Chains A and B, each alone.
Chain A
Amino acid sequence: KNEVEQSPQNLTAQEGEFITINCSYSVGISALHWLQQHPGGGIVSLFMLSSGKKKHGRLIATINIQEKHSSLHITASHPRDSAVYICAVPPLQGAQKLVFGQGTRLTINP
């Protein structure tokens, strides 16, 4: 079974800072998901990646398959980026269902 570890669990930063959230997993995967959950509860899928790097606006996700590690970066952070960021991977290679990390609670202060 795939174990997913995120760090840090909580992160508080000032507006404008560069943010990095890390995710490590134990089993080879087909794709890794980064999700965002705002206080209201709804989940937004930010990225799905299986290799390399993806960028969307101020968000960048990278993955290193050999090291079983992914990072989510936020440039020029803003208070509206405050949310819980969750990394999710399949429990087994080729599976479609997901196992979730415990989440990183990000707070950006103005």
Chain B
Amino acid sequence: GAVVSQHPSWVICKSGTSVKIECRSLDFQATTMFWYRQFPKQSLMLMATSNEGSKATYEQGVEKDKFLINHASLTLSTLTVTSAHPEDSSFYICSAGTSGYEQYFGPGTRLTVT
């Protein structure tokens, strides 16, 4: 089956620093990648949608300058949290979509900002 990986699986960083999270589709080409955020005991919230080679589309309320998304190839998308703040601590999940309606989810990255 289709596999999506995320790296790192968890990261701790200090306030003010930036952290990059990678999302890779390992055995298929993803036309679209989605980035989600999840707070404890809450559902996933879509942050942005990215297509290879074009700018990401951000959901309302998501700061595009703070959450930089790059979709460099059909198998790789990155999310960079810039000037991280403790309130950015969360579980970040990516998913990769094909040309149909399938979506395959990554295992998630737990970010803790101290």
Contact = CB atoms under 8 A, between A and B. Distances in A.
Interface of A: 30-31, 33, 35, 41-45, 48, 50, 86, 90, 96-98, 100-103
A30 B101 contact: yes
Contacts of B108: 41-43
Contact of A43 (B32, B46, B49, B105): B105
B105 A45 contact: yes
A3 B105 CA distance: 21
Interface of B: 32, 34, 38, 43-44, 46, 49, 91, 93, 95, 97, 101-108, 110
Nearest to B93: A43
Contacts of A42: 105-108
B110 to A, nearest CB: 7
Contacts of B103: 33, 45, 48, 96, 98
B44 A100 contact: yes
Among the interface residues A30, A90, A97, A100, which one has the most CB atoms of the partner chain B within 10 A?
A: A97
A87 to B, nearest CB: 10
